[in-house]
Amino acid sequence: VTGSASIGRTGSRSQTVVATTGVHSAPERRRSSPLEGTSRLFGPADVLFLVAWGLWIAALLTTSIAHAQGSWGLIPALPWTFYFGVSLLLVSVAIQLGRERLSSIRLGLHLVSLVFMVQGVTPLLYSLEPKYFSQFKAVGETLLISSHGALQSSVDLYQRWPGFFGFTSWLDSIAGLQSPLSYMAWCQVFFDLLFAGAFLFAIRSLPLSPRQRWLSVFLLITGNWVAATWQDTFTPQAPAFALSLLIVGIVLRWLSSGPGELKVDWRTRKGALVVLLLLYVPLVFMHPLSPYIVVLWVVALTLVNRVRPLWLAPLLALLAVGFLIPNLSYINKQYGISKAFGNLENNVLPNAPSLARGGSFLQANLGPNLYAEPIIVGLLIVLGLIGIGIRIRQGKGSILMLALLMAPLIIVLGVTYGNEAITRVWLFSYPWLACFISLALWPDPEFEDGLPAEEWSVLKRLARKENEHRSRVPQALSHVRLVGARWITAAVLIVTAGLSIVLNYSQNEIYQVAPSELRAAVHFYGSAPAGVAYYVDPGFPLSVGARYPSFKGEGGGRYYDLFLVKYPLLELIDPAQVMSAVTRLVCNAERPGSPNGYLVLSNQQEKYAEAFGVFDARFFDQMEQHLRESPDWSPYYLSSTVRIYKIMSHCRR
Amino acid sequence: MKGAHSRSAHAESVVAATRESQIDPLEAIDILALLVLIGLGGMAAIDSSNGLRVGLALAFILFIPGWATLRFWKSPTLFERLALSVGVSIAVGAASSATALWLHLWRPLPLFYSMAVASGALLAAHVVRERKRSRGSNR
């Protein structure tokens, strides 16, 4: 091997290499990562990794969920060994990132372990029951398809965007399962791993070193739990997010033509276009928002002169709008999107009444979350801004990542998305912010710029020779900087993961559905006569059955949730007054052809209402007392955790 | 000269034999995917319900249609191929099930069998083509 090299501090591709071996074709050059590979040595980080797992297993064996109470949820129930184990794992990640030769296998194992150690806790401790009652609507959609074998587009929006539910219903049939309840508890583990893989694929063509890429993925996983209630649970958003990242990856990898990009032949580009459309077309009918985010990303990349063919963005927009048009009147009627268009002030408002009561913009928060979320979001944004500053100072291309970071912001001009627009902006912008954060934590100026391994080794040899004649001081500084980067990275990963754990685990007590309540809900939706059902608040597995449309009001279009929908009730002080108002509501509910009406009360709803300060436990008891004594109601289902009352027929119109 | 020629021919045959004995990871995944298809098809046919069927069903629905489709596209690396296979499988599954629902042709198991046959045919065609090609190049 012969060759020459010039080693620039910035390490840009144009500066670094005059190629050496002559054996690499253009695609191969990109494929081999200079610092990635496997190392057979068993190092200290490997010991840490094993110790971390040992501590985690010991922690789970000694945890009792009986101690998971109050606004801190699962956090005080977990022993110190859990937190120490996760922290050791993250220290091990930082050590792995600082190794001279990166080991993809080890980093991959750390990534899988991190996801499992954090997201696997809930399904393991809570007997495999799914977290978050919001997921149960998706179970009902799947079961509706499985039992009827057809879509009912008048029922709700999900039936008009059936991609995900058709898929899950198909999975159930192939696997011989009765319902998604048997596997959905593990969705967070599965989807987080899917996001990690898709993101690692997406950023392969960004101007980042391999260390920065891996660090970005770890940051995505630790920071992405900020709004995890929606994005990695059993909902269409989760696979749609992964598909969106893959599409961006294809565009960056094969369809970019910016300066300095490797030439890709037309045949390969045609293949990439076909695969892109294979991913995008189902995305259009899987999730209402994600296709538009993809369009925004592709438009942004086209504007910074990166995407060819130029007609790609218009084609994608045409497909998304083409599917929207037949559904537009329905969406407008249900969600009033024409009012949201251009109404920036309203669109950035938070979603739930809890937020109006002092919660933050991203997630319905309580207790410690009120502090944890602003801290983690603020920290990530500040670090991202530092990364942007570093990139600009280095004079290296940051426009690409900035375009991807900023493009999702445009959606707040057009939609309110159930007052979740800001949450969605965070979801789709955060991955690119994570790239900038990795630049701030690990500036990594030298060498690692997508060089083949042989070129890297030649460069290293030359650099070593050159350094022999230099002062030892720069080498020492470089070493100090590497050690500093390791520890700062470990600290940031531990802080972000810690805050994410607070955000997630503190909500368990409010969102976790008890098995007995789930059984009651399955029974109710499976066997109760059709009728309009009211709930005190959303703390119940709503619509977890194929017959769920039979229990909705106003033509099947709406859930009756006294807490979220009927604000005036909250202003009533006397429980008797509340019950009288509720009775009037149920008696007058418009549901043609259905004589029945129900009111569902459960322990979980009580916890939810109390946590959000709607009713206290005493008020809840008094309400139920009036319900029991009222001549207008009779008990339909009574258990220790769930009470369902049925309105007497004389009351209904 | 003749000796050098025969040594070179011998070296070539050794290289070819070594290449044949090495397992190509892509081909290994092809064969594994075919085995999953056969196993899952059999279990679905006899309506067996157990953990193995769930595992095979997940392997099928999350990987095989995408892997089989992408097998004819040369450009991606192994990691890119694996990542895209999962995405394309989810996308193809969502597209085919939604289409069946819109056309009022919702028959999940026949849909699975047709997808399995199509994926199996693509994989088998690829394995045969690669075998022929490697035999041709060895000659």
Residues of B in contact with A27 (CB under 8 A): 75
Residue A5 has pLDDT above 60, yes or no: no
Distance of CA A261 to the CA centre of its chain: 31
Kindly state the average pLDDT of the residues A172-195: 91
- What's the pLDDT score for residue A463? 58
Any CB–CB contact under 8 A between A178 and chain B?
A: no
Rounded Cα distance, A577 and A571, in Å: 10
Kindly state the average pLDDT of the residues A631-653: 82
Tokens of A472: 């030892």
- What's the pLDDT score for residue B126? 87
Tokens of A240: 């749609």
Any CB–CB contact under 8 A between B88 and chain A?
A: yes
Return the higher-pLDDT residue of A442 and A244: A244
- What's the pLDDT score for residue A317? 97
pLDDT tens for A497-513 read 998 888 888 777 777 78
Which residue of B60, B75, B79 is in closest CB contact with A271? B75
Residues forming beta bridges with residue A633, ordered by sequence position? A647
Any CB–CB contact under 8 A between B48 and chain A?
A: yes
Any CB–CB contact under 8 A between A273 and chain B?
A: no
Rounded Cα distance, A459 and A491, in Å: 32
- What's the pLDDT score for residue A503? 81
The pLDDT mean for chain B works out to: 86
Closest-approach residue (CA) in chain A for B81: A201
Q: How far is A571 from chain B (nearest CA, A)?
A: 45
Q: How far is B12 from chain A (nearest CA, A)?
A: 20
If contacts are CB pairs under 8 Å, which of residues 144-173 in chain A contact chain B? Answer: 145, 149-151, 162-164, 166-167, 169-171, 173
Return the higher-pLDDT residue of A590 and B121: B121
Return the higher-pLDDT residue of B135 and A473: B135
Tokens of B131: 């075998």
Which residue of A167, A176, A201 is in closest CB contact with B94? A167
One-letter amino acid of A78: L
Any CB–CB contact under 8 A between B102 and chain A?
A: yes
Residue A472 has pLDDT above 60, yes or no: no
Phi-psi category of residue A265: left, alpha or beta, with phi > 0 → left and psi -120 to 50 → alpha? beta
Which residue of B47, B101, B112 is in closest CB contact with A166? B101
- What's the pLDDT score for residue A298? 96
Residue A517 has pLDDT above 70, yes or no: yes
Any CB–CB contact under 8 A between B117 and chain A?
A: no
Q: How far is B19 from chain A (nearest CA, A)?
A: 19
Rounded Cα distance, B22 and B16, in Å: 10
To which residue do tokens 């979980």 refer? A604
pLDDT tens for A99-108 read 878 899 999 9
Any CB–CB contact under 8 A between B126 and chain A?
A: no
Closest-approach residue (CA) in chain B for A205: B80
Return the higher-pLDDT residue of A129 and A541: A541
Distance of CA B75 to the CA centre of its chain: 16
ipTM for the assembly: 0.86
Return the higher-pLDDT residue of A190 and A511: A190
Which of A280-284, A488-492, A626-630 has the largest mean confidence? A280-284
Q: Which range (A9-23, A184-198, A337-351, A479-493) has the least confidence?
A: A9-23
The pLDDT mean for chain A works out to: 79
Using the beta-carbon criterion (under 8 Å), do B80 and A281 form an inter-chain contact? Answer: no
Which residue of B43, B84, B111 is in closest CB contact with A170? B111
Residue A114 has pLDDT above 90, yes or no: yes
Kindly state the average pLDDT of the residues A77-88: 94
Residue A590 has pLDDT above 80, yes or no: no
Any CB–CB contact under 8 A between B37 and chain A?
A: no
Residues of A in contact with B49 (CB under 8 A): 176-177
Any CB–CB contact under 8 A between A253 and chain B?
A: yes
Residue A280 has pLDDT above 80, yes or no: yes
- What's the pLDDT score for residue A23? 33
Rounded Cα distance, A627 and A610, in Å: 19
pLDDT tens for A386-435 read 999 888 887 766 788 999 999 999 887 777 666 677 788 888 999 999 99
Q: Residue A642: CB partners within 8 Å, gap ≥ 6?
A: A516, A517, A520, A521, A540, A600, A601, A602, A603
pTM of the full structure: 0.85
Kindly state the average pLDDT of the residues A581-609: 76
Quick check: B93 and B116 in contact, CB under 8 A?
no
pLDDT tens for A214-250 read 999 999 998 876 655 567 888 899 999 999 999 999 9
Q: How far is A242 from chain B (nearest CA, A)?
A: 7
Report residue A40's pLDDT band, with 50, 70 and 90 as the boundaries.
low
- What's the pLDDT score for residue B37? 95
Rounded Cα distance, A551 and A137, in Å: 13
Q: Which range (A7-11, A182-186, A351-355, A611-615) has the least confidence?
A: A7-11
Surface-to-core class of residue A153, CB atoms within 10 Å of its CB (0-12 exposed, 13-18 middle, 19+ buried): middle
- What's the pLDDT score for residue A296? 96
Report residue A157's pLDDT band, with 50, 70 and 90 as the boundaries.
confident
Q: How far is B53 from chain A (nearest CA, A)?
A: 6
- What's the pLDDT score for residue A20? 32
Q: Taking the CA atoms of chain B, what radius of gyration do you get in angstroms? A: 20
Q: Which range (A259-268, A340-349, A464-473) has the least confidence?
A: A464-473
To which residue do tokens 């050098």 refer? B4
Optimal mutation site among A25, A105, A167, interface B, most CBs of chain B within 10 A = A167
- SS3 for A102? strand
- What's the pLDDT score for residue B59? 96
Residue A204 has pLDDT above 60, yes or no: yes
Kindly state the average pLDDT of the residues A369-390: 87
Return the higher-pLDDT residue of A146 and A420: A146
Return the higher-pLDDT residue of A447 and A594: A594
Using the beta-carbon criterion (under 8 Å), do B97 and A166 form an inter-chain contact? Answer: yes
Tokens of B125: 């065609």
To which residue do tokens 């969605």 refer? A424
Kindly state the average pLDDT of the residues A368-383: 84
Any CB–CB contact under 8 A between B118 and chain A?
A: no
pLDDT tens for B77-116 read 999 999 999 999 999 999 999 999 999 999 999 999 999 9
Return the higher-pLDDT residue of B12 and A645: A645
Optimal mutation site among B54, B71, B89, interface A, most CBs of chain A within 10 A = B54
Q: Which range (A70-79, A440-449, A520-529, A627-636) has the least confidence?
A: A440-449
Any CB–CB contact under 8 A between A246 and chain B?
A: yes
Return the higher-pLDDT residue of A29 and B100: B100
Which residue of B58, B88, B109 is in closest CB contact with A173? B109
Q: How far is A204 from chain B (nearest CA, A)?
A: 9
Q: Which range (A2-16, A46-60, A336-350) has the least confidence?
A: A2-16
